[in-house]
Chain A
Amino acid sequence: MTDTSTTAPVIQPGHTYETVTDKISAIVLTRRFGRGWWIGFSLGALGTMLLSFSIGMLLLRGIGIWGVRIPVAWGFAIVNFVWWIGIGHAGTFISAFLLLLRQDWRTSINRFAEAMTLFAVACAGVFPLLHLGRPWLFYWLMPYPNTMGLWPQFSSALVWDVFAVGTYFTISLVFWYVGLIPDLATLRDRSRHRVGRVVYGILSMGWRNAATHWHRYTQAYLLLAGLAAPLVISVHSVVSMDFAEAQVPGWHTTIFPPYFVAGAIFSGFAMVLTLAIPLRAAYGLQDFITLRHIDNSGKFLLITGLIVAYGYGSEIFMNWYSGDPYEWATTVDRFRGSYRHAYAVLLFCNILTPQLLWSRRIRNNVIVMWIIALIINVGMWLERFVIVVQSLSHEFLPSTWGMYSPTIWDWSTYIGTIGLFIMCFFLFIRFLPAISIFEMRELVHEVAEKEARHESP
């Protein structure tokens, strides 16, 4: 897909099977975890405690501690839900889509991207449950046999959501775990500690590196990739239908599914970069996560950013072209109303900023890329905020218009999920190989072969 002669390699030259294995497994097995890890982990753990506390308060007191109200009955919870789910998408996209498309450069980032997906979906999953008025009855949204003979109402997008997100989490988890098995075996074999050997031994499910194992493993992995790939499209499409199904001006738009999927991958790649850039710096993984990866992610950001921009444009155009006064009033309100600053900032973050990525120099500048990724993360959060809150604040009857303002509990829950994400991620780095060892070895082999082919003739 790319001209390798002009771009950075997917793995720095000079690596052998052994160096790859040593370098990656050392992060887990031998390297001492210094102050940096502990600080990061503690921040995450603090955030998680904040989340637990916020959830406790919520269950104790009721949803009223949040800023939701009539007419803006969905607030931060749904914003954060969509944001987190979107972030997860890049992980699946990288591991499943790019695997199926045989993109070799995915290898070094897919593992932690998948982990990111898993943690992001876990963070996302918290919100739809908590935002219920009676969270303890969440299971009523699922079809289960009950004495009342009642099913959920299948015409509601929220029910589709349950299936979409549930499936997504399950498949992501299995896919990630299956992908981990050979590496878990490597860790089991190299671990010098008895506990490590036992735990990794159990987790590696008796992997013996046999040819049959590899055969079946590859089959299963591809199959799972095949299962996961459509989810990239379907999950966020379904999430977007939470909005598109309703007749709220600003929600009732057919462009939403593709626009949401693009937005999801957009924000997901931004999050991959947000995580990968510090990770490679902290653990000296520049050899594995090379400028090539950063460059490719930048291109993905650019293309999905353009799709998102098209989505915005299409929405505005259709609202004008349809002649629907309510839709148009909502559009005008986005530019001139109470939330116009949020809208302006999101346009800046999501449309203007990615235009920098046309330049290779910028794509190859790690610091700038990290800043751009952060800006896009903010922009995509604001996009969901504007869609959810601004649309609801300015509907049909002016008598019902009203503003939303989050409370301290909205913020604490949001920050808490970020803490949970950080904590999980730090634990992941600490106990599991953040880069797929066996796939990197494979990559070393492939690169060597490729080079041999180049040289031999």
Chain B
Amino acid sequence: MIETCPHHHEEDRDAESAAPPSNQFWRSLEELSNTPEFEAMLNREFPAAASLWKEGVSRRRFLALMGASMALVGLNGCSRRPTEKIVPYVIQPEQLVPGKALQYASAMPLAGYGKGVIVDQQMGRAIKVEGNPKHPSTLGGTDVFMQAGPLALCDPDRSQVAVNRGNVATWSGFENDFRATVQQFGGNQKVRIRLLTEPVTSPTLFARIQRLRSTYKNLRWHQWSPFARDNAGAGIRAALGRDANVVYDFSKATRILSLDSNFLTDDPGSLRYAAQFIRRRTPRWKPDDLTAHHESARTENAYQVPSPVPSAADMNRLYVFESSYTITGAKADHRLALRPSEIEFLARVIAGEIQGAPTPLPQPLQKHAQLVRAVAADLKQNPGRSLVIAGDSQPPNVHHLAHIMNAALGNLGQTVSYIEPVEPEPVNCTKSLSELVTAINNKEVDLLLMVGVNPVFDAPADLNFADALETIPWRAHLSQYLDETSYHCHWHLPESHWLEMWGDIRAHDGTVSILQPLIAPLYATRNALELLSAIAGQAPTSAYAAVKNYWAEVWKNEVDRRWEDALRAGVIEGTASRPIDIPAGQAKAPDLPTAPTTSALEINFRPDPTIFDGRFANIGWLQECPKPITKLTWDNAALISPQTAVSLGLADRKNPELANGQMLELTVGDRTVRMPAWAQPGQPDNVITVHCGYGRTRIGRVGNGAGFNVYPLRATGSMHVAPVSIKRIPGTYPLACTQNHQLMHGRDIVKTSTIAEVHEKREPRDPAESDIALEGETTQHGRRVKLSIYPEYDYPGYRWGMVIDQTACIGCNACVVACQSENNIPVVGKDEVLMSREMHWLRIDTYFADQGEPQDDPTQRASSAQAMFQPMLCQHCENAPCEIVCPVEATSHSFEGINEMTYNRCVGTRYCSNNCPYKVRRFNFFRYADPAPNLAIMRNPEVTVRTRGVMEKCSFCIQRINRERTEKKIEWVKAEEQGGSVTMRSVPNEHVEALPAATHLTACQQACPTEAIIFGDINDTNTFVSRLKTAAAYQPIHYGVLTELNTQPRVSYLHRITNPNPALTLSRTTVEATPASRSSIPSPPGGAP
């Protein structure tokens, strides 16, 4: 029972924490305060030299490089292969052009729901995942999990063969054993089989299960997912009296209230919601075009003339009451950090206000009365255009209240729609799993077949699932890794990755997508359809046949045409769930719970932002992807508020960050977990947030041992929130944070404006000021003076540039992982991140600023911190500081304005990095990109894999530019030839007019669900990017970072625009009004010491 016993794990942790401490973590202390004692302790000039001789090497080797190709390298290296002659294609297969990517539509299943993707395939290898613009859940955007697909596919630690009781086995061996066991327990009619799957929306899979049920009369089906949406389902049942799914339309919502809902990432429809939400919010919002925007952007890149900035009334306003800092909270105009139990009170009071039946707030919450009334009034003033959304971790009552409020506000059919359940058999997963365990304990289960789930790791602790599992006479588990659950089963069956299988799956609104394999299974794996087919007792069918036959029955004689269409489009039109017409029933609000007591500590269980429920723990990209807000990598921590850190004695009031990395013992009921603390600004007091999914013991070399398993604290009665007691225990633990300072120190880095201010300062800025940003010119004595001694270069052809809209950036990290996937960026491992050597070409800087009145007390200040995101990548400065200092001219300016890195020429002086004010250059301190055979197949063949000792950085995805240039050149030459006059054989760069408009997107731009990144040709006045950079309407909110250094960056930014409620923020707006006044406010700590 190693998995469920925290103590073993703790010992490992302790051993590790004995390694040389890195006081990296303690660095940002002086930000909040400067007590001498504290600094004396922290700021030793020469921290103990960390020896890389032993620990460093092995950690890095084994963890850092998910590469690690142990078995395969060994086997291949040692054996002499027989001579096998290969023969080139005599006839090239149709469509297969070496070097040219093919694109296939598919869908990524996650916890039962699908997200439509388009996968780039090069010579039969899936190398990049993009969003499918036609898919209702993604609208062309992606999230980190979708982006990580290629690495997950190639993960060398994925299970490769069936394992029977510890021995390598075969699929036919499994089938025989299964049949024998069924006979042993009385045959098809008597054997008591239980099937445990994730929530199922796939029509074909459901049909398979139905057939299985008909074969085995005593088969019972259970569904389990640790973050299933049980509370939401219960809330809907309470409000509507029936099962339904709810779908939101954020494009119509101007006032949004989130009750602990992280709808920007945690919902199956999040990508769509984020896109709709942001489209209603950015200054480049177009009132007439709120829906098909994404698609047109991707296909044509032909934007309309940017419309004027929206009015405050049209721009949406987001109120967030939340119990942990999420990216949704970071985008809020008004955010209130509350204990999870308090949210229901506020929801209840707001619902009362809306319905005209005010109820008083309990005493501890009286201080929020003004805010609550203002929110209610604002919602009421926008009937049919408002939206109340409750989070999955909130109890059914709050969901129920949200439905009542939406009904009372007239939002039904406008911003909120109810649809027929997307799952064919919706269940409460917690209840379903409990029933299974009860059945097992009653000895009612002969055979248990588990598909894709990992309950030994993630089941509620009070079920003692592993113990129960051991009592089943015969148990089998289909999964991608030989994981904790497999370890307790007689049979482990390797599961195919979604990029190598046929299947179908429904989106959040019920729309079906067909999963197409991009590659034949790399190993002897099967998917759920194939497994269930093999044991169904009939002639087994392939997954392809299963899916196609299912849809053939639906489509009858139209099957051929519709099948092709479905594969091409990636969605099946008309399969969305039917809307349910619900009268705005005045359902009775649930009873008020007992008044909350503020003294008790509450713990909040959340899925991890990058490894989800733990299933992605072996994916290096996701482990190393800095978590939004905390910027932690490779670990989870107990997030506590600075105030709570002080009360627990982990830190003093002036230095809340002292708490970071100190070990805590969390006790829920009689179960205990030890993990490090992290003081998180903006976290409500007395609330501990833990992200689940860490502390895996049996997944692979990357994920094993990373972080701390907190599932043992979860119980069926308290799946999301529980009372907890904390104790400080001796010891610290190194936490790898990628951004140690999260304050701007009065520097004008993220500029912010309220929408009202944007309208006030519509007139263009001082021309001299804007010139410095873009042209490197200034005005002296009425004369224009260039600020560089170097002659100006006239860009006759393309001139690439980028604008980043900080209003639109939600900090979701999709761009970070997309960049990593596109550009073959290596993973370096926790120890290297501790040495600040992460390689991300694109990072998202998160800064905290005060919200509300400035406070002197750092701890107080931290509680009202406002997080702001700034994607930071190579700025491609016109006057690049890196270029002039490189002694070998390895970095230079291209004729299209890109700051280019010539890897072959780089000798690695790192002078360019020192001179880069943005610090966006990354250095290969070691040979991070080990050529592991498995990983080699996911590499983008158009991008060089960098060797040790060379600098690298964002290239504006120059491979995409060149690919398009090549295509355009071929087209141009062909056109010339057909026109009969072959006068010029190359694209005339000197004639701008003759250049075809560039339409490609950078990887980050393509991944971004909210279109925060806009890239294109600045010379072409029709591109969106050039309009954003030049249109007068945008000048007041358009700026470059650190332009006072005369770097003349090619990447410029739009202000982060908020729409605060004037009734609430008279004092607040003056605080945030101007950069100057804002900069005078010292801000709370970045949390990262």
Contacts and interface: CB of A to CB of B under 8 A. Distances in A.
B743 A398 contact: yes
B949 A397 contact: no
A245 B885 contact: yes
Contacts of A325: 746-747
Contact of A134 (B30, B49, B52, B950): B950
Interface string A233-247: 000000000100111
B919 A339 contact: no
Interface in A111-135: 131-134
B258 interface: no
A152 B888 contact: yes
A410 B49 CA distance: 9
A336 interface: yes
Interface in A376-396: 385, 392, 395-396
A402 interface: yes
A326 to B, nearest CB: 8
Contact of A69 (B34, B53, B835): B835
B923 interface: yes
B1023 interface: no
A398 B744 contact: yes
Contact of A158 (B44, B745, B885, B924): B885
A428 interface: no
Nearest to B846: A399
Given A336-B30, A405-B22, A406-B46, A397 B872 contact: yes
Contacts of B949: 62-63, 132-134
Given A397-B749, A399-B872, A407 B884 contact: no
A401 B27 contact: yes
A71 B905 CA distance: 22
A61 B926 contact: yes
Contacts of B551: none
A144 interface: no
Interface string B807-840: 0000000000000000000000000100111000
Contact of B23 (A132, A248, A403): A403
Contacts of B185: none
Interface in A132-186: 132-134, 137-138, 140-141, 150, 152-153, 155-159, 162
A45 to B, nearest CB: 23
A64 B914 contact: no
B584 interface: no
B740 A70 contact: no
Given A74-B914, A153-B887, A246-B885, A411 B845 contact: no
A339 B45 contact: yes
Given A138-B907, A401-B740, A67 B915 contact: no
Nearest to A66: B925
A141 B922 contact: no
Nearest to A71: B919
B907 A408 contact: no
A121 to B, nearest CB: 20
B895 interface: no
Interface in B1-42: 22-24, 27, 30, 34, 39, 42
Contact of A340 (B43, B835, B1041): B43
B917 interface: yes
Contacts of A398: 741-745, 747, 749, 847, 1086
A242 to B, nearest CB: 8
A70 B919 contact: yes
Contacts of A400: 918-919
Contact of B53 (A141, A246, A392, A408): A408
Interface string A50-79: 000000000001111101111101100000
Contacts of B886: 153, 156
Nearest to A64: B925
A329 interface: yes
A342 interface: yes
B906 A134 contact: yes
A94 B62 CA distance: 55
A284 interface: no
A143 to B, nearest CB: 11
A248 B1042 contact: no
A278 interface: no
A70 B43 contact: no
Interface string B839-867: 00001011100000000000000000000
A133 B951 contact: yes
Contacts of A30: none
A407 B53 CA distance: 10
Given A246-B914, A407-B50, A341 B27 contact: no
A71 B917 CA distance: 10
Contacts of A73: 910-911, 913-914, 923
A280 to B, nearest CB: 34
B502 to A, nearest CB: 44
Contacts of A399: 739, 741-742, 749, 843, 845-847, 870, 872
A407 B49 contact: yes
Interface string A101-114: 00000000000000
Looking at A150, A341, A405, the one whose CB has the most chain B CB atoms below 10 A away is A405
Given A69-B837, A133-B951, A396 B918 contact: yes
Nearest to A410: B49
Contacts of B843: 399
Contacts of A408: 49-53
A415 B57 CA distance: 23
B67 to A, nearest CB: 15
Nearest to A336: B34
Nearest to B910: A73
Interface string B885-906: 1111100000000000000011
Contacts of B27: 338, 401-403
Contacts of B749: 397-399
B30 A338 contact: yes
A141 B971 CA distance: 42
Contacts of A410: 49
B1076 to A, nearest CB: 12
A245 B52 CA distance: 33
5 contacts: A73-B911, A133-B923, A140-B888, A158-B885, A340-B39
Given A65-B52, A338-B42, A340-B43, 9 more contacts: A61-B57, A70-B922, A73-B914, A133-B908, A140-B887, A140-B888, A245-B884, A337-B43, A398-B747
